Chains A and B, each alone.
Chain A
Amino acid sequence: MSKRNAKNFIFSFCAVVLVLLFFVSAIVIYVDPFFHFHAPLQGFPYIVDNQLSQNPGMAERMDYDSCIIGSSMTVNFHTDDFGELMGLNTLKLSYSGAYPRDDYNILSIVFDKNTPARKKNPVKAVFLGLDIPTMTAATDEIKYELPMYLYDKNPINDVKYLWNKDVILEYILKPVIQKKGTNLSEVYASWWTEDYYNIQYVMHGYEAPEAVVDEMDADLLIPQTKENLETNILPFIKNNPDTVFYFFFPPYSILYWNNVLTENHFEATMKQYEFAANELLKYDNVRLFYFQNMEETVTDLNNYADYTHYNPRINRYMTECFADGTHEVRSIEEFRDELQKMRRIIAEFDFEELLSAEY
């Protein structure tokens, strides 16, 4: 046996492994496509398309004074509109399908005073789409498992980011080749062409839930909603009095209300809306918007891609409302009036005709 050869092999093998891993680590740290170590490099065409992996880094290190938080109901906002209409430098930090805990996780980073982002700018405004159906989730429930190595402070598990083929190929090599980065104003946008928005498309994909015979107790949803608000949302409002929180109830289509009626929890849901609004309206730094009773919009399914997701035109309209106060609700009495209007729309709408027609 040649001991020298064996030693050479072991030495060369270790050298190759170390050099390659060092080289890969250096590239990932230098470009840092998930903004885990530093702010974006000037001129690098970053691809931003991964909410779970890129939101925490963006929230920590990007330059912004306001942010959009929430589910897919928020992905079609254009942050440029917020600059144009409200003079804000807004960052979109949506999580499709977000539960309240997902909002909590990202808001914790947004309001962390030790991040480079907060050392640069305070948060002037947070725009938060409140999906009332998610308020009954467990307070620690998250929609998708998070890549914790990007969320925690443990430097050891950063190897999962540094030595990651997808990071190197999809987020470093690909943008270098295609030379076109993501426009952050439109980041995470879905259903981006007009073709998606028509009644045929919506009705083909719509599946009504199973009918429930017994009506839900009207108070049943309140305790969990309260717990979620108190655990995951209200602390940020209380602790950041200088930040204006723009809460809005997204304008789901009339089919959403068909689900609520079929599942027999209409009164419970109405009470849940009222409860949440009442809790939020207690704070001076909250501005609440109710868009669900925009009758022409919500009853025309040509504005939707499915039973809840609306055309980006409506996102633009909502941004205009945030700027000029249209659809803003200032007291619980006003909110009850809005719900009353919603009740009328639902009562007068001919669900049978909608559901029995051919598409």
Chain B
Amino acid sequence: MTFNSYSFIFIFLPVFLLGVWGIQRFLSENERADTLMKLWLIVMSAFFFVGYGAFSICIFLLSIVWNLSFTYILCKKLRNVAFGKEGTVTAIKAVAIAGNALLLAGFKFFGGGAMPVAVSFYTFSQIMFIAELGKEIKADFNPVDYLCYILFFPKILQGPIADYKSVMGGLKDLSKKKLKAEDFIYGIMLFSMGLAKKVLLAQVLGKAVDFGYGGVTTMSALDAILVAVSYSFQLYFDFSGYCDMAEGICRMIGMELTRNFDAPYTSENIAEFWDRWHISLTKFFTRYVYIPLGGSRKGISRTYINILIVFLVSGIWHGNGLNFVMWGMMHGVLMVLLRIFRAATHAKDESEKDLAKTKNVMALGFRHAINTALTFIYVTAAWVFFRAKDISEALTLLGKIVSIDAWRGLHISIKYAECFMMDEIWYMFKITPIPRWSKSNYICMWIILIFSAIMIFGGNTARKIAEKSAAFICKKEDASRVGSLAVSMFYGVLFVWGVLSLGGVSTFLYVNF
């Protein structure tokens, strides 16, 4: 099951919410209310996952049994371990973590394309759990809490790779919470926007990207640029849209979920980008790869090597192939260069101070725009390696952008533009003279790309918009009836539009026989 499915939205989610609210409303005084709530979350999370088939379920079960067994052993050891004898615990943890890493690596490199659903995400959660046992996580063997953390369905498929403390902290006393209208409204708004980002924007951009990557050798320079940019947009809308939905669901029951995206393409440099893109993954790598390697404590050269290792591991985690290594290395190298530049010039602090002194808003804005644009261009170029089937295809696409021949005629393929032809926009055109223009196919494309760019670079994330909207509804005593109605109409229409876009009509490409 995925969030963007009829069965999730109209059956699973209402049942789940009713269960949670029911416990909060009628059983909050019961001393076992907390356990009941956790069991409800576990049962619903299991239902959520069960549709992914026997293979994925078996691997997940294997992972759970492995980690639960080690948790049991570790809890026993940790309770009895004598001071100075922590070596045994560390060794057990190392074995447990190695088992997790092997499971993931096995499927990544030897799985022959058969990847169990969500294995990357829950493996990282398992590693975090084992690593923190006895530190941030109390060494009490508690299978209910463990299962609740590992299975928790809002994060299971695409993250965030939330740590135990944040998930269980959010769930603490959930049974005693009363449903807050503001939380629920915020949840609805964020879920609706996430759904729209995923099934409206990401879907149409994805169609164009698939078309582009289907004919890299024949594309013009402009095609290549648009395909690369479309992929950057698609990835953001798809991934952050899903995370918005996850966060929306959590807020509907009154809990916070770790934030995973924060307007990443508005970053001024690569370090800031990784503070804003897939935030939970960055934290994971920092905590469990970078710091154990020595972080920045072992000298400048080791720091740079450690950074490169982190991004190498990140590349390998994201996919099997040299193109993913290349993607990781592009980020790693720029990160190192940024460090070198900063170390050499103290550029960040000094220049910021200078600009602040001048209070020159124009200069600040200009610098921000240039830095943001350059960072986006670099990240987009790296995404080309991420999306291409191999390095050669990525280089072909990037080569088109710098090839003089490919710039001749400033041509954008009409077939590429047609991929953006959203029926709903096209039918609106029908009442205007636009369809009669020879270039009308391009108008849809530009509308969608420009709208996407405004959403991405405008700095207004779905989270911020939902916060403002919810505040407008809930906090303003004088919110006019018309204004309030307009907001609910907007979200209602957006939600229905998303729902209507969940499924298409099955079609097929013709193949002989």
Q: Which of A1, A3, A15, A307 has the most CB of B within 10 A?
A: A1
Using a CB-CB cutoff of 8 Å, which residues 128-176 of chain A contact chain B?
131, 133-134, 143-147, 157, 159-160, 163-171, 173
Q: A6-B185, A166-B505, A177-B430 are in contact. Are A190 and B510 (CB under 8 A)?
A: yes
Closest Cβ neighbor of B505 among chain A residues: A166
> How many interface contacts (CB-CB < 8 Å) are there between A and B?
132
Q: A6-B181, A173-B427, A177-B430 are in contact. Are A97 and B510 (CB under 8 A)?
A: yes
Q: How far is the CA of A24 from the CA of B511 in the complex (A)?
A: 34
Q: Contact check, B513 vs A12: say whether CB atoms are below 8 A apart.
A: no
Q: Contact check, A20 vs B496: say whether CB atoms are below 8 A apart.
A: yes
Is A96 located at the chain interface by the 8 A CB criterion?
A: yes
Q: Contact check, B512 vs A308: say whether CB atoms are below 8 A apart.
A: yes
Q: A16-B496, A166-B504, A173-B427 are in contact. Are A131 and B473 (CB under 8 A)?
A: no
Q: A8-B481, A13-B488 are in contact. Are A144 and B500 (CB under 8 A)?
A: no
Indicate with 1 or 0, residue by residue over A7-38, a CB within 8 angstroms of chain B CB atoms.
11110110111001100100000000000000
Q: Contact check, B506 vs A165: say whether CB atoms are below 8 A apart.
A: no
Contacts of A3 in B (CB 8 A): 181
Q: Which of B185, B423, B492, B493 has the most CB of A within 10 A?
A: B492
Contacts of B502 in A (CB 8 A): 160, 163
Q: Contact check, A6 vs B504: say whether CB atoms are below 8 A apart.
A: no
Is B354 located at the chain interface by the 8 A CB criterion?
A: no
Q: A13-B488, A21-B499 are in contact. Are A5 and B513 (CB under 8 A)?
A: no
Using a CB-CB cutoff of 8 Å, which residues 464-513 of chain B contact chain A?
473-477, 479, 481, 484-485, 487-489, 491-493, 495-497, 499-508, 510-513
Q: How far is the CA of A5 from the CA of B501 in the complex (A)?
A: 30
Closest Cβ neighbor of A99 among chain B residues: B513
Q: How far is the CA of A134 from the CA of B184 in the complex (A)?
A: 55
Q: Contact check, B479 vs A97: say whether CB atoms are below 8 A apart.
A: no
Contacts of A1 in B (CB 8 A): 181-182, 474-475
Contacts of B481 in A (CB 8 A): 8
Q: How far is the CA of A7 from the CA of B473 in the complex (A)?
A: 9
Contacts of B506 in A (CB 8 A): 50, 52-53, 144-147
Task: Give the dominant DSSP class at B's interface.
Answer: helix
Q: A159-B6, A169-B424 are in contact. Are A50 and B505 (CB under 8 A)?
A: yes
Closest Cβ neighbor of A33 among chain B residues: B505
Is B437 located at the chain interface by the 8 A CB criterion?
A: no
Q: Contact check, A10 vs B185: say whether CB atoms are below 8 A apart.
A: yes
- What is the number of residues of chain A that contact chain B, defined by CB distance less than 8 Å? 51
Q: Contact check, A2 vs B475: say whether CB atoms are below 8 A apart.
A: yes
Q: A5-B484, A72-B512, A173-B427 are in contact. Are A16 and B492 (CB under 8 A)?
A: yes
Is B219 located at the chain interface by the 8 A CB criterion?
A: no
Closest Cβ neighbor of B511 among chain A residues: A97
Contact of A2 among B424, B430, B477 (CB under 8 A): B477
Contacts of B497 in A (CB 8 A): 165
Contacts of A6 in B (CB 8 A): 181-182, 185, 473-474
Q: How far is the CA of A3 from the CA of B424 in the complex (A)?
A: 36
Q: Contact check, B185 vs A9: say whether CB atoms are below 8 A apart.
A: yes
Q: Contact check, B423 vs A169: say whether CB atoms are below 8 A apart.
A: yes
A182 CB to closest chain B CB (Å) equals 15
Q: How far is the CA of A284 from the CA of B505 in the complex (A)?
A: 41
Q: Contact check, A177 vs B6: say whether CB atoms are below 8 A apart.
A: no
Q: A10-B184, A146-B506 are in contact. Are A134 and B6 (CB under 8 A)?
A: no
9 contacts between A and B (CB under 8 A): A1-B474, A2-B473, A2-B475, A24-B500, A52-B508, A97-B508, A133-B513, A147-B506, A165-B501
Sorted from nearest, which 5 A-B pairs have the closest CB atoms?
A: A16-B492, A6-B181, A12-B488, A169-B423, A165-B500
**Chain B contacts to A: CB under 8 angstroms:** 6, 10, 181-182, 184-185, 188, 423-424, 427, 430, 473-477, 479, 481, 484-485, 487-489, 491-493, 495-497, 499-508, 510-513
**Chain A contacts to B: CB under 8 angstroms:** 1-3, 5-10, 12-13, 15-17, 20-21, 24, 50, 52-53, 71-72, 96-97, 131, 133-134, 143-147, 157, 159-160, 163-171, 173, 177, 190, 306-309
